[in-house]
Amino acid sequence: MTDIAVLDRPAALPPETATATAPVIVAPLTAILIEIALAVGGFGIGTGEFAIMGLLPDVARTYDVSVPVAGQVITAYALGVVFGAPIIAVLAAKLPRRTLLLGLMGLFALGNILSAFAPDFWTFTALRFITGLPHGAYFGVAALVAASMVPPHKRARAVGRVMLGLTIATLVGTPIATFFGQLLSWRAAFLLVGCIAALTVALIAIYLQRDEVAEGASIRRELGAFTRVQVWLTLGVASVGFGGMFSVFSYIASTTTEVAHMPASMIAVVLALFGIGMNVGNVVGSRMADYSLKGTIGTMLAFNVVIMTVFALTASNPVMLCICVFLIGCGFAACPAVQTRLMDVAADAQTLAAASNHSAFNIANALGAWLGGMVILAGFGYEATGYVGAVLSLAGLAIFSVSVVLENRSASRG
């Protein structure tokens, strides 16, 4: 194993990244192995988060509850992510990042394995909440570790490679887990996710060497992230601006069959197109972000406004539906950029800010699905979720514009 240096060593960075995690010297092969280890964890988390959506009827039958009631386990997991990310980041302020990652993924593994053996519905729901707790903190810390091993102009690509585990999960991991869950039992799907998490623990233990706690690290310093306006504005961009993607994705199955009048067998194809779009967006977006961080966020939000509107206008056409779903998935391109910007604006409270990004995305998930459901219940049809997405993306663009204006004013005064 090749030793890596302390992850918070100060270094001179370009103006836009002056507060980012400083780069450390890591052998190329070691860096690749660490990124793979972190991405495997992302793959496990993504598989566990999304596979349940295809297994809800099986869960409902097992516990003799209705499917809507069974859907509460998804809400419980999301709440675990929202609350767990900031709380864990603050309480673990004085823990080395390697230790924290091992603990987080260990808890995720245990939660999924115990979920597979839950004797009743409410125990299962409670375990899903507990399993969601490490989700956001893991991705946040993993992103910081990845960014710390590369030069400043390559940070977003490093973050994107870690996030690749999550996007690949939507395309490969979720279908596989769903298949085995339906073939054997939904419990087998959670056992599989638990094994992936356990593998991640082993890989991190092998390839990521022990690091030292950053000088001055404390709960108070981490909480300082929430005293910075730019942190709140960036989290606002994530929680509002990307709700549009979820407003469409949450109801895409019904849109496919009831609006585009495609056979139910095509739902899997449409979902696959969304997953492919996420992977393309992640790879391309991370490269764009290294070229222009703020430009990527603004461009992708504007792109989402247009694509969501086109989706709403053309959803009845099967070809256009498929094209738009792919492009909406590509909107994930902004995720590495938002994660990297949080590292910049958080200054010395990066763990809390980076972890909270995933709380924000889960808020976006809940907000988008709720507003999409509201317009459908109001009688506007499933295609109207595209208009909801366009409005949310526009609102996110407005928040981001305020962020940039304030940042420029602050820079001019300085």
Q: Are residues 204 and 289 in the same domain?
A: no
Q: Are residues 105 and 66 in the same domain?
A: yes
Domain count, the chain: 2
Q: Are residues 283 and 406 in the same domain?
A: yes
Tens-digit pLDDT string for the chain (414 aa) = 333 333 333 333 444 444 444 555 566 778 888 889 999 999 999 888 777 766 777 888 888 887 667 777 877 888 888 888 888 877 777 778 888 899 999 999 999 999 999 999 899 999 999 998 998 888 888 888 888 887 777 777 888 888 888 888 888 877 777 777 777 888 888 999 999 999 999 999 998 877 665 655 556 666 666 678 888 898 899 889 888 888 887 777 778 888 999 887 787 788 888 889 988 988 888 888 888 888 999 999 999 999 999 999 999 999 999 999 999 999 888 888 888 888 778 766 677 777 777 788 878 877 887 888 888 888 888 889 899 999 999 999 999 999 999 888 887 775
Q: Are residues 236 and 212 in the same domain?
A: no
Residue 10 within any structural domain of the chain: no
- DSSP labels, 296-334: HHHHHHHHHHHHHHHHHHHTTSHHHHHHHHHHHHHGGGH
Q: Which of 217, 243, 269 is the last residue of a domain?
A: 217
- Phi and psi at residue 236, in whole multiples of 5°? -65, -40
Residue 18 within any structural domain of the chain: no
Structural domain that includes position 320: 221-414
336 SS3 class: helix
Q: Are residues 255 and 208 in the same domain?
A: no
Residue 365 within any structural domain of the chain: yes
373 SS3 class: helix
Looking at the chain, how many residues does it have?
414
For residue 341, which of 42, 20, 28, 119 has the smallest C-alpha distance?
20
Contacts of 92 (CB under 8 A, 6+ apart): 100, 103, 137, 351
> What per-residue confidence (pLDDT) applies to 8?
37
Distance CA 199, CA 318 (A): 41
Residue 8 within any structural domain of the chain: no
Q: What is the DSSP letter of 170?
A: I
Residue 39, exposed/middle/buried by CB under 10 A (0-12, 13-18, 19+)? Answer: buried
Distance CA 294, CA 326 (A): 23
List, in sequence order, the alpha helices (H) in 94-185: 97-116, 121-148, 155-168, 174-183
Q: Which of 184, 202, 217 is the last residue of a domain?
A: 217
Q: Which amino acid is at 167?
A: T
> What per-residue confidence (pLDDT) applies to 225?
63
Q: Are residues 183 and 278 in the same domain?
A: no
Q: Are the beta carbons of 145 and 203 closer than 8 angstroms? A: no
Q: Are residues 192 and 225 in the same domain?
A: no
> What per-residue confidence (pLDDT) applies to 319?
94
Residue carrying the six token digits 């053309």: 314
Distance CA 251, CA 271 (A): 11
CATH classification at residue 365: 1.20.1250.20
Q: Are residues 335 and 280 in the same domain?
A: yes
Q: Are residues 188 and 250 in the same domain?
A: no
Q: Are residues 142 and 261 in the same domain?
A: no
Q: Which amino acid is at 101?
A: L
- Phi and psi at residue 378, in whole multiples of 5°? -75, -5
For residue 230, which of 341, 86, 93 has the smallest C-alpha distance?
341
Residue 55 within any structural domain of the chain: yes
> What per-residue confidence (pLDDT) applies to 3?
38
Q: Are residues 229 and 198 in the same domain?
A: no
Residue 1 within any structural domain of the chain: no
Distance CA 259, CA 247 (A): 16
Residue 234 within any structural domain of the chain: yes
> What per-residue confidence (pLDDT) applies to 15?
41
Q: Are residues 313 and 173 in the same domain?
A: no
- Phi and psi at residue 16, in whole multiples of 5°? -70, -20
37 SS3 class: helix
> What per-residue confidence (pLDDT) applies to 200?
94
Residue 171 within any structural domain of the chain: yes
Q: Which of 191, 217, 243 is the last residue of a domain?
A: 217
